[in-house]
Every structure is written in structure tokens, then in C-alpha cells.
Amino acid sequence: MVDHPDPDQGPARFDWPVWGTDASIAVGRSDALTAAVALAQVVLADVTAACSRFDDMSELSRLSRDRRIVDGVDVSPLLAQLVEAAIRVAAATDGSVDPTLGNDLAAWGYDRDAALLPPVPDNSPRQGFSVSARVRESAWPRVRLDGCRLSIPAGITLDLGATAKAFAADLIAQRITDVLRARVLVSLGGDIATAGPAGSGGWEITVQDLDDDPAQQVHLPSGVCLATSSTQKRRWMHEGRPVQHILDPAFGVPVVPVWRSVSVAASTCLMANALSTAAIVRGHTAVGWLATRGADARLVDLDGRVITVGDWPEPEPGAAVPNMSGASR
């Protein structure tokens, strides 16, 4: 990330690991950085306590073990917001981004923080594999949320990982701007949210997944968000073969990659992430589907070819810039 600095004070940035990925905060005023990081860490701790699938003591983990959840239990306002966001995303993507895949992810070995999963050897092929699977019944429409009262069908475990990360990025960016009156960019593993007072400047973002993938520098106005979903990161070995974390909800199995990565710009990080993840799931039909949604997107196929949708700027032939974002989900 390269910032357009304010005239009075230079920008400042802080990076740290969180949730098995990289987090970054950049603020337009260097004097606001320490307070901005503190605000972000409070939000991240609250979201972790509310819905982490890897923490047995998180609110969602405890509720998943509570037999009363089938009939409905009262949950915290934050967990209710996180579940509502996940259901809204599922509806907006026609179920391509499904929050009821917790058991399926665990069955594929994703039952702990990504940093603790068995690593994929460097020489492992990056293309997917075909599997036979039965059609999975869509369960997300049967998750009920009435205010702060939540009911989950028997046998279903919620995984809010993808939407919670984007939700948190939006929340952090807005909270920093509200409290500190500073423009800010928040990146949580490829989910980028920006916010700032009226008239505040934008940000220069390098969009790139792996170091040998095509790179593009774009200008992101303050208040616009960006999410990148990747089939090349968050991979691990399961039963002797590499798998990646984005599942096809129709079958409950890892998506056979068509795209190395998909990046989408939108007014919220939550919606940008919803569209980028859904595009990975939809594979060959993603370009047309994104166009019908009026999305501004950049898709990189398995051969490194770039396809753009909507108002996403066309890459300059042969252009490449160093990857400073360190962010891709």
C-alpha cells in the first residue's frame, strides 16, 4: 500500500499477524496510528470472541454445543450482526457464499487456524482436482435470526470466517474515522476497507496475489473497498493432496480452480468479498455473473491472464509494480 500523504503529516502504517493471515492499518496522520491500531485490536478481539470456529470458548462455538439452538437462543448484538451479514451475503450471491459450511470445512481438515494446517510443498501443482460428491442441501435459508434470537438447524455448524473478516474490516475503518477523524485503510488478509472525512484523499493499492502473479496498481478513493479471493493461498495438505479453503456449497467440496484470484471493488468490504468469493465458486460463469451485478472486478485465470469487468481499469501491457500490499485472502 502506498499512501497519498496529507500535507501536514505523513502517513503511517502498522502490520501484524491475525487469524492466520496478515493485517495492516495505514492512516493519513502519523499521530493517529497508535490509537488506530488499538481500536482495531479491540474490534478483532470482540469478533474472535463472538464467532471464531477455532476457539472452543467463542460465543458461536458454545452455542453450537447447546441443544437449545435448534429452537432458538438469545445471542449478543455483535454475533447477531455477524450472522445477519452472513445471511445477507448468502442471499445476495444466491447461496454461492454459504455460512453453513462449518462441518464441511472441518471434514476437509480446516479445523484449526490456517497457520497450523499441514503446509503444501512448494513443488505441489496449483491446479485443482476432480472429485465425486453428492449434492448438498442448502441449509442457510433455514438459519433464523429475529433480532438477537438465533436458531440453527440440527447438524449444522456455522462458519462466518469470510464474511466476519470483511465485516470486521468495515467496522474497524469506520470506527477509526469516527473516533480519530483520520482517513484510514484497513487490510485483513485481502479484505481492504477505507474510510475518511469528507474530501480526504485516496490510496494507491497494488493488486497482486502471489509474487509471480500479474500486478496492477490502482487508485482507491477513500470510502471505496476492495477484496481479493484466492485459490492459491490458504492451502493445506489433506489425505495426501493439496486443497484450498473456498468450498462449492452445492457439494461441500473445495472448488476446482478456474481463477487464481478475483478482486472486486465495492462500497463495502463485505459486498466486495461476497462478490469475489462467489466469482471463485462460479468458475467459468463468473465474468458474466459479475457483469450482471454491475461489479468492477479483475480476474486472473490459471495461466495468469487478466480479465476485467465493469469500470476496473485495464492493465497496461507489460506493466508490473512491486507488491507492497501483502494482502490476499
Which residue did the predictor score with more confidence, 326 or 50?
50
What distances in angstroms separate CA 106 from CA 92, 102, 103, 117, 245, one per listed residue? 25, 6, 5, 12, 10
Using the Cα atoms of residue 118, residue 24, residue 162 and residue 280 in order, give the sign of their dihedral. negative
CA distances from 1 to 192, 267, 269 (A): 11, 19, 17
Angle, alpha carbons 308-314-317 (nearest 5°): 120
Whether the CA torsion 169, 175, 180, 181 is positive or negative: it is: positive
Is residue 126 a part of any domain in this protein? yes
Model confidence at 310: pLDDT above 60 = yes
Identify the pLDDT of residue 129: 55
- Alpha-carbon distance of 215 to 248, in angstroms, equals 27
Cα 194 from Cα 192, distance rounded (Å): 7
The model's pLDDT over 120-140, given as tens digits with 9 standing for 90+, comes to 887 666 555 555 567 778 899
How do 225-230 and 235-238 pair as beta strands? Answer: unpaired
Find the mean pLDDT for residues 217-241. Answer: 89
Examine residue 319 and state whether it is found in any structural domain, yes or no.
no
Report yes or no on 251 lying in a domain.
Answer: yes
Residue ranges with strand state E in the chain:
2-3, 12-18, 21-27, 73-74, 144-146, 149-151, 184-188, 191-195, 203-207, 216-220, 225-230, 235-238, 241-244, 247-248, 253-254, 259-266, 296-301, 306-309
Q: What integer best gives the mean pLDDT of the chain?
A: 88
Give domain status of residue 62, yes or no.
Answer: yes
Tell me how many domains the chain contains.
Answer: 1
Residue with cell 485490536: 41
Structural domain of residue 166, as residue ranges? 2-309
* Residue 161, domain CATH: 3.10.520.10
Length of the chain: 329
Angstrom distance (rounded) from CA 225 to CA 212: 24
Q: pTM of the entire structure? A: 0.89
Distance CA 104, CA 13 (A): 37
Q: How far apart, in Å, are the Cα atoms of 329 and each of 39, 70, 210, 277, 325?
A: 22, 32, 11, 10, 12
* Residue 164 to residue 47: CA distance in whole angstroms: 7
Domain-located, residue 315: no
Distance CA 13, CA 26 (A): 4
Is the pLDDT at 1 greater than 50? The verdict is no
Q: Is residue 93 in a domain?
A: yes
Render pLDDT for 190-222 as a digit per residue (tens, 0 to 9): 899 999 987 777 899 999 998 889 999 999 999
Q: Rounded to an integer, what distance in angstroms lies between the CA atom of residue 226 and that of residue 276?
A: 9
Residue showing cell 469470510? 162
300-304: average pLDDT: 94
Lowest-confidence segment of 104-113, 155-164, 171-180 by average pLDDT: 104-113
* Angle made by CA atoms 160, 162, 168, in degrees to the nearest 5: 85
Q: Is residue 45 part of a domain?
A: yes
* Domain membership flag for residue 145: yes
3-state class (DSSP) for residue 186? strand
